[in-house]
Amino acid sequence: MEQREQVGLYDSNLSDSAQREALTTGSIPVAVYGLGKMGLPLAGVYAETTGNVTGVDVDPAVVETVDAGDCHVVGEPGLDQLVAEQVEAGRLEATTDGPAAAGRARIHVVIVPTLLDEADDPDLTTVESVADDVAAGLEPGDLVIAESTLPPGTCRDVLRPHLSAKSGLEPDEFGLAFCPERTSSGTALRDVRGQYPKVVGGVDDESTRAASVVYDELSDNDVHPVSDATTAEAVKVFEGVYRDVNIALANELGRLADELGISAREAFATANDLPMCQLHDPGPGVGGHCIPFYPHFLLSGAEEPLELTRTAREINDGMPAVVVDRLEGQLAAVEDGTDVAAGESPLEDATVVVLGITYRPGVEETRASPAIGVIDALDEAGADVVGVDPLVDPGEYGARAIDREDLPDESVDAIVLVTPHEEFGAIEWDTLEPTVIVDGRDALAGDGSVASETALERHRVYTLGGSRSGAPPRGHAGSSRTDVEPVDGTIETGTDAHPEPTDAGRTDGGDDV
């Protein structure tokens, strides 16, 4: 990448318009650390805006792919084209050499994972490792932007001192702001470009100002500056906790469907007629390395007990076991000869297929995926667990992997639909031997219309929480109704991450169907 007169935004003496001109003409080189599901789209949009971006990743395969103008992130409309164009135009390149990239850059964007350790405490080693790379090339006037979701207080108490100590600069010689990514897999480019206002919070006012200039140029939406970095970090984590708690509420109320003999999903959709009600979707659990992780960024260090946040985590983490319990009840209802009262389980030696291992349809991510909990519980119960997933190898998660096309060849006692990938829409249910099906995502329900002859009719379908069509879960021991309407054989799948709430009351919780 050609060398240009370099400009630093932090404490710049240039006019606002001159700063913007420098940014959008490549005179303020940018380094983006982390080229994953969120980092690559972000680097692409930075390249589109500034024309001078170096992406940094520790994975040589990622760097090789991006440097070749290719895209390793699946399921992101427009991303492969954007990466190809920006690399071809010399506006984006990739490297594994973080310190070298830092030496060339004047804006440093950190978007690597913020995970949990064995004790569910935040693990910032990756972020700190990137801070080491940045510090190796940090110069007065540089701006560091943290986009990785962080426990509130991290920029002020960890990153700023770390960067200062490792670079030898005084804390007030460089800028540091927290600017969270409000993006979802499946709509990342749309979101990065400005689906939502961009939150910006600096460790000082000058950092907030400089970062606001950057995102005012990068995003089509408003920039929403807040008082400081800690407030911005809290905004992001609170968004996630709101979601986790509301999913837990949906899961808890959804479990009432059996004993009430109703469809909780129908009740939720109706309750959501009210703008003040946003009941989310019940399901087999909460996956990904975001929503199930962010509450621990508070639970780990807060003095406040945070009972609701903690209980919600426990409810959601308990959903895979609920799914397996419901499955056991279905099998017991159709199988004779198993003495459940004597502690025998119909799951013993049963062949159970788990459909969908990743945490969301179309997203190649398995961290905290509910399917892993379902597989482990089935394995524990002595079942022969088979797995089907178009994006990952179920064999790596404790199941015997088969292809979707091979389902008819399997002698199956039950099928559990955990994550409704698009590809599962091609399953020909009427070619399968009659079996028990637990639909964790209400993905088998068609438009609620009753088809006279449906491909699923030969099977016994149990829909967790009931179906949006109004059918209650089917035949669970506690259910008072079994006269449920058959569902049609279509699968509603998809990767539409966050449909806008519609006047039918669908919330943005229904990202799985």
Ligand X SMILES: CC(=O)N[C@@H]1[C@@H](OP(=O)(O)OP(=O)(O)OC[C@H]2O[C@@H](n3ccc(=O)[nH]c3=O)[C@H](O)[C@@H]2O)O[C@H](C(=O)O)[C@@H](O)[C@@H]1O
Ligand Y SMILES: NC(=O)C1=CN([C@@H]2O[C@H](COP(=O)(O)OP(=O)(O)OC[C@H]3O[C@@H](n4cnc5c(N)ncnc54)[C@H](O)[C@@H]3O)[C@@H](O)[C@H]2O)C=CC1
- Answer yes or no whether residue 465 interacts with ligand X by CB under 6 A: no
- Answer yes or no whether residue 33 interacts with ligand X by CB under 6 A: no
- DSSP string of 148-192? S---TTHIIIIIHHHHHHHH---GGGSEEEE------TTSHHHII
Q: Which of 57, 93, 488, 512 contacts ligand X by CB under 6 A?
A: 512
Which range, of 56-64, 219-227, 295-303, 504-512, touches ligand X by CB under 6 A? 504-512
Q: Could you list the beta-strand ranges (E) of 442-503.
A: 460-463
Q: Which of 359, 397, 424, 462 contacts ligand X by CB under 6 A?
A: 359
Residue appearing with tokens 């080229």? 35
Footprint of ligand X on residues 263-282 (CB under 6 A)?
A: 280-281
**Nearest distance, CB of residue 231 and ligand Y, angstroms:** 17
Collapsing DSSP to helix, strand or coil, 2 comes out as coil
> Helix, strand, coil shares of the chain as percentages rounded to 5?
40, 10, 50
Distance from C-alpha of 128 to C-alpha of 166, rounded to nearest angstrom: 11
Footprint of ligand X on residues 93-112 (CB under 6 A)?
A: none
Q: Name, in order, each residue with C-beta under 8 angstroms of 394's C-beta and a sequence gap of 6 or more.
A: 354, 357, 375, 386, 387, 388, 400, 401
Q: How far is CA 189 from CA 55, 77, 127, in A?
A: 16, 8, 23
Q: Which does 240 bind (CB under 5 to 8 A by kind): ligand X, ligand Y, none?
A: ligand X
- Answer yes or no whether residue 122 interacts with ligand X by CB under 6 A: no
- b/e per residue 212-247 (b: at least 16 CB within 10 A): bbbbbebbebebbbbebbbebbbbbbebbbebbbbb
What is the distance in angstroms between the CA of the first residue and the CA of the last residue of the chain?
43
Distance from C-alpha of 59 to C-alpha of 74, rounded to nearest angstrom: 17
Collapsing DSSP to helix, strand or coil, 407 comes out as helix
- Answer yes or no whether residue 240 interacts with ligand X by CB under 6 A: yes
Q: Which does 494 bind (CB under 5 to 8 A by kind): ligand X, ligand Y, none?
A: none
- Answer yes or no whether residue 360 interacts with ligand X by CB under 6 A: yes
- DSSP string of 191-256? IIIIISPEEEEESSHHHHHHHHHHHHHH-SS-EEE-SSHHHHHHHHHHHHHHHHHHHHHHHHHHTH
**Nearest distance, CB of residue 37 and ligand Y, angstroms:** 4
**Nearest distance, CB of residue 295 and ligand X, angstroms:** 12
- Answer yes or no whether residue 291 interacts with ligand X by CB under 6 A: yes
Nearest-CA neighbor of 442 among 459, 409, 475, 420? 420
Which range, of 69-77, 109-117, 242-250, 468-476, touches ligand X by CB under 6 A? 242-250
Catalytic position from the list 71, 155, 179, 290: 290
- Answer yes or no whether residue 48 interacts with ligand X by CB under 6 A: no
Q: Which of 8, 283, 472, 473 contacts ligand X by CB under 6 A?
A: 283
Nearer to ligand X, 166 or 367 (CB): 367
The contact set with ligand Y (CB under 6 A) reads 33-39, 56-59, 62, 98, 111-114, 126, 129-130, 148-149, 181, 183-185, 290
Q: Which does 243 bind (CB under 5 to 8 A by kind): ligand Y, ligand X, none?
A: ligand X
Let me know if 179 is a catalytic residue.
no
Let me know if 166 is a catalytic residue.
no
Q: Which does 146 bind (CB under 5 to 8 A by kind): ligand Y, ligand X, none?
A: none
Q: Which of 54, 114, 183, 454 contacts ligand X by CB under 6 A?
A: 183
Based on its alpha-carbon atoms, the radius of gyration of the chain, rounded to whole angstroms, reads 25
Nearer to ligand X, 86 or 272 (CB): 272
Q: How far is CA 79 from CA 42, 45, 59, in A?
A: 10, 10, 19
Q: Which of 185, 212, 435, 469 contacts ligand X by CB under 6 A?
A: 185
Nearer to ligand X, 359 or 429 (CB): 359
**Nearest distance, CB of residue 287 and ligand X, angstroms:** 4
Nearer to ligand X, 33 or 359 (CB): 359
Catalytic position from the list 37, 198, 236, 277: 236
- Answer yes or no whether residue 239 interacts with ligand X by CB under 6 A: yes
Nearer to ligand X, 152 or 486 (CB): 152
Which range, of 159-167, 181-189, 219-227, 455-463, touches ligand X by CB under 6 A? 181-189
Nearer to ligand X, 295 or 446 (CB): 295
Collapsing DSSP to helix, strand or coil, 54 comes out as strand
Q: Which does 281 bind (CB under 5 to 8 A by kind): ligand Y, ligand X, none?
A: ligand X
Residue appearing with tokens 């290719």? 70
- Answer yes or no whether residue 54 interacts with ligand X by CB under 6 A: no
- Answer yes or no whether residue 287 interacts with ligand X by CB under 6 A: yes
- Answer yes or no whether residue 243 interacts with ligand X by CB under 6 A: yes
Residue appearing with tokens 């945070």? 306
Is 399:466 a contact under the CB 8 Å cutoff? Answer: no
Collapsing DSSP to helix, strand or coil, 302 comes out as coil
Which range, of 40-48, 69-77, 236-244, 325-333, touches ligand X by CB under 6 A? 236-244
Is 464:284 a contact under the CB 8 Å cutoff? Answer: yes
- Answer yes or no whether residue 286 interacts with ligand X by CB under 6 A: yes
Distance from C-alpha of 481 to C-alpha of 472, rounded to nearest angstrom: 8
Nearer to ligand X, 350 or 464 (CB): 464
Q: Name, in order, each residue with C-beta under 8 angstroms of 128's C-beta and a sequence gap of 6 or more.
A: 158, 162
**Binding region for ligand X (CB under 6 A):** 149, 181-185, 239-240, 243, 247, 250, 280-281, 283, 286-288, 290-291, 359-360, 509, 511-512
Active site residues: 236, 290
